[in-house]
Amino acid sequence: MTSPDCESGPVQGAHLGKYVIAALIAIGLCGAGGGWFYHRQMQRRVIALWGVDAAALILSAPEVEGWKLQAADSQPASDGGTVTDGGTVTDGDTVTDGDTVTWAGGKWRIVETTGAAHAPGMPHLRRRLVQDDSFDWSATPAAQDRIWQYALRFSDGGCQATLLFDADYQCAGLAETGAIASVAPLARGLETVLPGIFKNPPN
């Protein structure tokens, strides 16, 4: 006589396999949910800083343009926290060398532009720019006290987010809102990536 175990083994094995697969899927979903929650917690303060839409553009917009800046003059801008028509650059404009941007109480001339989406180090930098531990939250930098030397504009269709960086790689500001924060923990990476975008990095 065949033992019950041998006779029913294939059927039980098939059901057991289904249970194992279901359990693995459930574990995977829990892991994914836990990972999402973990990353969300790591981004809580920076999302509050940049805003959800800008943070999404910084992380995943298909187009990234790099600008090298110089102070155009000392004339105060009418809007210290927006890319405006105080110079020649408005939201959505195509930017060319020689255009100016109003920011932080002054005007900044764009002396060089270049595509930056595929620049060395850019994917990693974009991820870091939306993580809380990339910022020194104890610092309260003032935009007016800085020499702004670089900008990155992240674009997706008609939506843009423009981050400006100071010459010491210590601060970043979002032109569209005027938000500013210390990026001192990122200084070494910024010092490598930003000049490297351009053909002739500044000394």
Please state the rounded mean pLDDT for residues 52-77. Answer: 84
Domain residue limits, the chain: 1-42, 51-196
pLDDT band of 87, cuts 50, 70, 90: very low
Q: Quick check: 134 and 125 in contact, CB under 8 A?
A: no
**Does position 91 have pLDDT exceeding 90, yes or no?**
no
Please identify which residue in the block is written with the tokens 């002739």.
Answer: 200
Q: Residue 63, class by beta-carbon neighbours within 10 Å (0-12 exposed, 13-18 middle, 19+ buried)?
A: middle
Q: Quick check: 143 and 180 in contact, CB under 8 A?
A: yes
Selected residue with higher pLDDT from 84 and 114: 114
Selected residue with higher pLDDT from 36 and 130: 130
Please state the rounded mean pLDDT for residues 158-172. Answer: 95
Please state the rounded mean pLDDT for residues 149-162. Answer: 95
Please state the rounded mean pLDDT for residues 132-147. Answer: 90
pLDDT band of 43, cuts 50, 70, 90: confident
Give the chain's length: 203
Q: Of the ranges 2-16, 22-36, 77-91, 101-115, which is most confident?
A: 101-115
Share of the chain above pLDDT 70, in %: 64
Please state the rounded mean pLDDT for residues 169-198. Answer: 94
For CA atoms 27, 33, 36, 40, the dihedral sign is negative
pLDDT of residue 19: 54
Beta strands in the chain (DSSP E): 63-73, 100-103, 106-115, 148-156, 159-166, 171-174, 179-182
**Does position 11 have pLDDT exceeding 80, yes or no?**
no
**pTM recorded for the entire structure:** 0.71
